[in-house]
Amino acid sequence: MGASTNEFGETLRSWRDRLQPEEVGLPTAPHRRARGLNRKELARLAGMSPDYLVQLEQGRANAPSVQVLAALARALRLTEAERAHLFRLAAQPAPDDRQISAALPHSVRRLVEQLSASPAAVYDVRWNPVAWNAMWAAAISDPLTRPVRERNMAWRAFAGLPTRVVRTAAEQQQVEEAIVADLRSSSGRYPGDPGLVELITDLREISPRFRGLWSARRVGVYDQEHKTVDHPELGVLEVDCDILTAHRNDLRVVVYTAVPGSASAKALDQLSATLNGRPLIDGPHPHGPG
The predicted-structure confidence for 199-252, as pLDDT tens digits, reads as follows 999 999 999 999 999 999 899 989 999 999 999 999 999 999 999 988 777 899
**Is the CB of residue 161 less than 8 Å from the CB of residue 150?**
yes
In a domain, 95, yes or no: no
pLDDT at 164: 94
Q: Would you say the pTM of this structure is higher than 0.85?
A: no
In a domain, 267, yes or no: yes
Q: Taking 60 as the threshold, does the pLDDT of residue 1 lie above it? A: no
The proportion of the chain whose per-residue pLDDT surpasses 70, expressed as a percent, equals 89
265 and 163 within one domain: yes
45: domain CATH number?
1.10.260.40
Q: What is the mean pLDDT of the chain?
A: 87
pLDDT tens readout for residues 148-166: 899 999 999 999 999 999 9
In a domain, 96, yes or no: no
pLDDT at 256: 97
Query: How many helices, marked H, and strands, marked E, lie in the chain?
Result: 12, 7
Q: What band does 288 get if pLDDT is binned at 50, 70 and 90?
A: very low
pLDDT at 2: 43
Q: Of how many residues is the chain composed?
A: 290
pLDDT at 30: 66
Q: Under 8 Å CB-to-CB from 48, ≥6 apart: which residues?
A: 68, 71
In a domain, 287, yes or no: no
140: domain CATH number?
3.30.450.180
pLDDT tens readout for residues 14-41: 999 988 887 777 777 666 666 788 899 8
82 and 135 within one domain: no
CA distances from 47 to 14, 43, 92, 111, 249 (A): 19, 6, 20, 47, 33
Domain boundary among 89, 124, 143: 89
List the domain range (segments joined by +) for residue 217.
106-282
Q: In what order do the strands lie in the sheet with 120-123?
A: 165-166, 224-231, 235-246, 251-257, 120-123, 129-132, 281-282
pLDDT tens readout for residues 134-144: 999 999 999 99
